[in-house]
Amino acid sequence: MHSKEAGQMEVAFIDSHTGGEPTRVVVDAPLDLGTGSLFEKREQFKTQHDPFRRAVCNEPRASDTFVGALLLPPEDEKAVAGVIFFNNVGVLGMCGHGTIGVIRTLQHMGRIGPGTHLLDTPVGQVRTILHEDGRVTVQNVAAHRHQKQVQVEVEGHGTITGDVAYGGNWFFLISDSPVAVEFQHLEKLTEFTCKVREALEKHGISGKDGATIDHIEVFGPSDLANSRNFVLCPGKAYDRSPCGTGTSAKLACLQADGKLQEGEIWKQESIIGSVFEGSYRLQDGQVMPSITGTAFVNMKGVLVLDELDPFCWGILN
């Protein structure tokens, strides 16, 4: 952070996109998040610094699609950095596309080169591989299916069936969508998945320990990959990428159903046609997903936070 003039702050950022989904890395966050674990720092960020989250991710500086990533010192000295992910409505657990964006950003900053790099997140450490050609593989935290074939009544759509699974965030995964998973149906997919999320909340359907299911993932056929998805993120924006944590949750369901073997590749297309490659290995009976994709740095600069600006801290969602 640099002081510009009285009442103004400047905060350096680097933007990238991963399969079309933006990540805004905050390089030098001017925040006191305490000295606790990354999980505790995320709580501090959530409870004490929400205006800063909005200033980074919301209009007028960004849009509902942005995922922010606060770059922090790592918890583990072997890791290259710590990171807290957030978006237009709150904080995230892990973020697959965001991790790919952070690794490419660290490369752009000259902090890392091709090879293996550990990254600390509030939900655990992830191992990443930056390949020579710029692709990034994220070895995510363990994924699992929590509940199979849960039925829920969705206003205007009748009974909808889906799996509840965790891939670093909580997902409701629907294979039999009443709306075709095609780009021309974006509005209908958004309307449908928002209603599913409302219905899950209304009927008390949650992840483990009552965790909110804040991502809804719908699958359809693909010409490019094994499947195409549409993912509603917390808020009303959809993921332009195939969603790293959503693909991880999908891998856990495929493994549980015996439909994908250890090491086999699953190609997941997004609603805009970008593709991630996923696979998993089993460790102590747990599904450990790997997701590979590419990100490109496409903008960098400074955010100017001017206390005289009535929308300095972002427009509320």
- Which positions are catalytic? 95, 243
Rounded CA separation 206/15 (Å)? 33
**Residue number with CB closer to ligand PYC (169 or 229):** 169
**What is d(CA 132, CA 81) in angstroms, rounded to the nearest whole number?**
20
- Rounded least distance, CB 303 to ligand PYC, Å: 21
Nearer to ligand PYC, 9 or 293 (CB): 293
Select the span of 53-61, 91-99, 194-202, 263-271 touching ligand PYC (CB under 6 A): 91-99
Stretch that binds ligand PYC, among 90-98, 114-122, 124-132, 308-316 (CB under 6 A): 90-98
- Ramachandran sector of residue 278 (left: φ over 0; alpha: ψ -120 to 50; beta: rest): beta
The structure tokens listed for 146 are 């929590």
SS3 category, 134: coil
C-alpha to C-alpha distance for 67 and 70, rounded to whole angstroms: 10
The residue among 21 and 163 lying less far from ligand PYC, judged by its C-beta, is: 21
Bridge partner residues of 171 (DSSP) = 165, 215
The interface region with ligand PYC, picked from 3-11, 92-100, 158-166, 261-269 by CB under 6 A, is: 92-100
Q: By rule CB under 6 A, what count of residues binds ligand PYC?
A: 12
Residues 230-249 vs ligand PYC: string with x where CB under 6 A?
Answer: ---x-----x-x-xxx----
181 binds ligand PYC (CB under 6 A): no
CB 178, min distance to ligand PYC, A: 24
Does 97 bind ligand PYC (CB under 6 A)? Our answer is yes
Residues within window 15-34 making contact with ligand PYC, judged by CB under 6 A = 21
Whether cis (ω within 30° of 0) applies to the bond prior to 178 is no
Least CB distance to ligand PYC at residue 109 (A): 21
Query: What gap in Å lies between CA 278 and CA 243, rounded to an integer?
Result: 11
Rounded CA-CA distance 136/63 in Å is: 25
Would you say the C-alpha torsion 180, 183, 186, 190 has a positive or negative sign?
Answer: positive
DSSP SS3 for 124: strand
How far is it, in rounded angstroms, from Cα 13 to Cα 222? 35
Shortest Cβ 127–ligand PYC spacing (Å): 16
Binding region for ligand PYC (CB under 6 A)? 21, 67, 95-97, 169, 233, 239, 241, 243-245
